[in-house]
Amino acid sequence: MSDSKQHSGSRSSFDRRSFLKGSGAVAAATAAQATGVGAGEGQAAQVESGWKKIQLTVNGKKVTVNVQPRTTLLEVLRYQLDLTGAKPVSLDGSSGASTVLIGGKPKTASTTLAISCRKKNIDTVESLGGENLDAVPKAFVDNDALQCGFCTPGFVVAVRAFLNKNPDATEAEIRAGLNGNICRCGTYVGIIDAAISVAKGGA
């Protein structure tokens, strides 16, 4: 058995070209300037292209970052702002490891385009630490709800968001409501206990 096969690339990434391909005539019109840097804010065009500076509000601070239309929020956080708490585990978002709060709602930064986050408040796991330590990360430590810790930031944010919405959550609700995140080391028992302890404490 032997036949020949042509192949280019093994993975699909959300790149500028496929973005434009799907946008018909507008794509053709903007393709010429696609590689230029700084297409400028405030253009009325339906399709954005090239590198441009945008302003985001991350953990209460306004920051200016440089993005392409394909740039994910996760790339911006990790490579431009050195906020590496949100982790790249599954770019399809199915592990929940890149969970952050956007406008108070839990979203995976790996599936969110940075340009879609303008005018929204972005809160990362780092906002739950430091001087104003949140009850959730503390409860994770108290209940040993972490091992290698790579999934932990995403889980901490997911638990925070879940308890914000369900402050009096029961154990059954916690077990049913936090299935968007994966832990490979197997810390679920600790996470359940941590979430229960915060729910009971009303924090």
Partner 1 sequence: MAYLQDDKPEGGPYNWPSADEATVIGKEHERLDGLKKATGAAKYTYDVNLKNQLVARALGCPHAHCKVVSLDSAATLKVPGVVHVEVLEHAQPGSEINWQGELLVIVAAETEGAAAEGVDALNVEYELLDVFTAAEDLEAATKAGRTSKGGGKVETINEPGDDDDEDEFIEKEIARLFAESKHVIEGFYGVDAITHCCLEPHGSTVEWEGDKLNVYLSTQNVSGTDEGFANSLGISADSVDVTCDYIGGGFGSKFAPDYWGVAAARISKATGRPVKLMLSRDQELKIAGNRPSGYVNIKLGADENGVVQVWDSQQWGSSGISGGGVSHTVVPYVLVPKNFRRKSTSIKTNMVRSRAWRAPNHPQACAMTQPALDDLAAAMGMDSYDVFMANLVNASNGKAEVYAEEMKVGAKLIDWKKNWHAHGKGKAKGSVVEGLGMALHTWGGVANTSNCLLKIYPDGGVESFCGTQELGTGTLTVCAMVLAETLGLKVSDVKVNIGSSTFPVSGASGGSTTVGAVSESHRRASQDALRELLVLAAKELGVDALALEAKAGRIQSKDDANKGLSWKQACKLIGLKPLEVTRGHRRGDPSPLSSSGVGGVQMAHVAVDTETGVVKMKRFVAVQDQGLVINPRTCASQIYGAVTMGIAASLYEQRIADPKSGAFVNAELEDYQLARIGDVGEIIVELYEPESERARGVIGNGEPPAISPVAAISNAIANALGVRVPVAPYTPKRVLEALNAAGRA
Name which of residues 39 to 68 contact partner 1 (CB under 8 A): 68
DSSP states of 150-168 as a string? SSHHHHHHHHHHHHHH-TT
Q: Is 156 in the site for partner 1 (CB under 8 A)?
A: yes
Q: What angle do CA 189, 193, 198 make, to 5 degrees?
A: 150
Mark the segment that binds partner 1 (CB under 8 A) among 23-31, 38-46, 101-109, 128-136.
Answer: 128-136
Mark the segment that binds partner 1 (CB under 8 A) among 19-27, 41-49, 101-109, 127-135.
Answer: 127-135
Q: Is 76 in the site for partner 1 (CB under 8 A)?
A: no
Q: Which residue has the tokens 């906020």?
A: 83
Q: Is 146 in the site for partner 1 (CB under 8 A)?
A: yes
Footprint (CB under 8 A) of partner 1, residues 10-29: 10-13, 15-17
Q: Is 140 in the site for partner 1 (CB under 8 A)?
A: yes
* Complete edge-to-edge strand list for the sheet that includes strand 99-102: 61-67, 52-58, 121-123, 99-102, 105-108
Tokens in use for 164?
């914000």
